[in-house]
Structure 1
């Protein structure tokens, strides 16, 4: 007698189990269809995720979520496969707008995959799909290339400041922006998020709200503290609080001011345009200087790196406090700071 195939044995076992549970195959099929019907489409779910993420996340991922909706808007979020996600990432990489600082569309592909991972993390949390069924988690991002940013040599930085202060439609504003970034090593988003309430003029501190929803008090020189307060008094009008950096007519600046500033600098300084120098280069410049003269721990605190993921586990033990950051700032600017334990000296 020919033995039954393993498949037939399994079917018989499942049929017996269903009979024991009082269920029919048709009931299982109806339940599966009902479950699938409860899974939203991308057009339905993307707006829900967009509404709950941070403004920074929304700004970075919104373009890619819109591209997903264009491609898969009417499909359920549990339908795309890892292969389809790879194909979409490749399509975006090939069609990305070519800019002078483009790197083959790698960043666009990385952001697309990150945007989908964010979307599916929420879907898992909402129990719309299982963690094991997350297709974006099974798609590798393109390898990140080393950054071309670096510290700007002092003579070149002096050229930037000279041109910013002698050209354009609002030199005072541009010089204030540059000094804020040089002193604090903050990111562009951090500077734009500074409000009048974030300025402690007495202790010469500014509160920075930066990526990852981190908040920190950063020392600034007395000269900059006074300049920022005066700037707001003249341009903030009758408003007691609000965004600190403003145009002459009282409007808060946006990222467009930075675009205008660096485009102007590039026209006057060809090396700025050629190397695609940006505000983030100022962060590299300041942090490199601090690390060389005051060590890694102080540079790490100066940068606002609070986690342990940026270096080895020893970072748990080598922490610098705000007084040490103030000392580094004091040496950088040549001005005394209320929180610095020692007077400013020029490191050798």
Structure 2
């Protein structure tokens, strides 16, 4: 009798382990609610449902990769690709990437492809179309990220950029305002383009920034910048407090294309801007580096709008030591002057951007 009970106990334990491996509960067996009972869509059917469920920023980043996925596997069901197939597709996209001056071997393209696949399967898990244990994209590692080549601009470099922005082009007032806005707030392009008149608090000299990841914050700005933003709205706005703040001369809302035009123009006058692929994000890097050096890491983290636990490492990309500081250390070590050490990025006052002359 005891032997029979032991055998039954062993069989039940085996059954429990099997159900656990299959990620199926006894309740699912009773009610027939296992994932296998759900009709699985094809990539053509499902990808664009996901596209409608994500934020505009996510859609902008992953959109082209979703198109490539549908071109390759549009008629296949989302449960069919294996981790190996996903890795092969990522490598194919990595090889096909357009080689530019700042290209890094297609790493970013491969990373975005895998991230785009993970986004699809994350929603598929939420919809009960696939179990998390069967998620093929989760088992494909992203390429290791290389350290960013961005660095803080020196005061001389920023002055040169600001001078070109405010003395050339078809709208130097607008471009000067953009440079000053990004230098003071260290905001991203999306944060600047999302500004509305209602986001200005003139009494306390604050602007309300909405940036990636749905984050938002009140950011201090100078009285001078506050005054110029209000003047800009008065001259180019339509009176709508909820409409975009930054506008062209004809009243159209600003887009990312203005930034492309601005840096192309600056690059025609300053070859090193083209050579080093300087962009608006370098202004953010410059400000945050100075804030960390002059105040503290905590202040730099708040200035950057980094608030989550995962943002601790992100802040470090902006506050690492720059080549000018290494050069200064070398000059002190050897007792010989170094050309970069003569203009260090660390200063008693921050690099400043100018407005266009009235």
Q: TM-score range by the shorter chain?
A: 0.7 to 0.9
Which sections of structure 2, spanning at least 5 residues, go unmatched? 1-10, 16-31, 317-348, 353-358
Question: Equivalences for 1:191-202 in 2 at 5 Å?
Answer: 191-202=192-203
Tell me whether 1:259 sits opposite 2:286 in the alignment: no
Deviations 1:257-276 (A, max 9, x none): 00000011111000000000
Aligned residues: 290
Deviations 1:100-128 (A, max 9, x none): 21111100000000011111011001110
RMSD: 2.3
CA distance in 1, matches of 2:241, 2:128: 45
The match for 1:158 is 159
Deviations 1:288-313 (A, max 9, x none): 0000111111111111110122338x
The match for 2:322 is none
The match for 1:318 is none
The match for 1:274 is 275
SS, match of residue 287 in structure 1: helix
Larger deviation, residues 37-46 vs 128-137: 37-46
1:99 CA drift (Å): 1.9
CA distance in 1, matches of 2:138, 2:281: 30
The match for 1:103 is 104
CA distance in 2, matches of 1:290, 1:238: 35
Tell me whether 1:298 sits opposite 2:299 in the alignment: yes
CA distance in 1, matches of 2:305, 2:109: 26
8 Å contact 2:306–2:312 — kept in the other structure?
no
8 Å contact 2:196–2:241 — kept in the other structure?
no
The match for 2:5 is none
Quick one: higher RCO (CA 8 Å, sep 6+), 1 or 2? 2
SS, match of residue 312 in structure 2: coil
8 Å contact 1:80–1:135 — kept in the other structure?
yes
CA distance in 1, matches of 2:282, 2:37: 49
Question: Equivalences for 1:13-92 in 2 at 5 Å?
Answer: 35=36, 38-92=39-93
Deviations 1:170-206 (A, max 9, x none): 0000000000000000011111111111111111110
8 Å contact 1:123–1:129 — kept in the other structure?
yes
1:332 CA drift (Å): 5.0
Question: Equivalences for 1:134-145 in 2 at 5 Å?
Answer: 134-145=135-146
Deviations 1:19-56 (A, max 9, x none): xxxxxxxxxxxx9xx94771011111111111111111
8 Å contact 1:221–1:333 — kept in the other structure?
no
Q: Name the CA shift for 1:282/1:182 in 2 (closer, same or farther; >3 Å).
A: same
SS, match of residue 310 in structure 2: coil
Deviations 1:193-220 (A, max 9, x none): 1111111111111011111100100000
SS, match of residue 116 in structure 1: helix
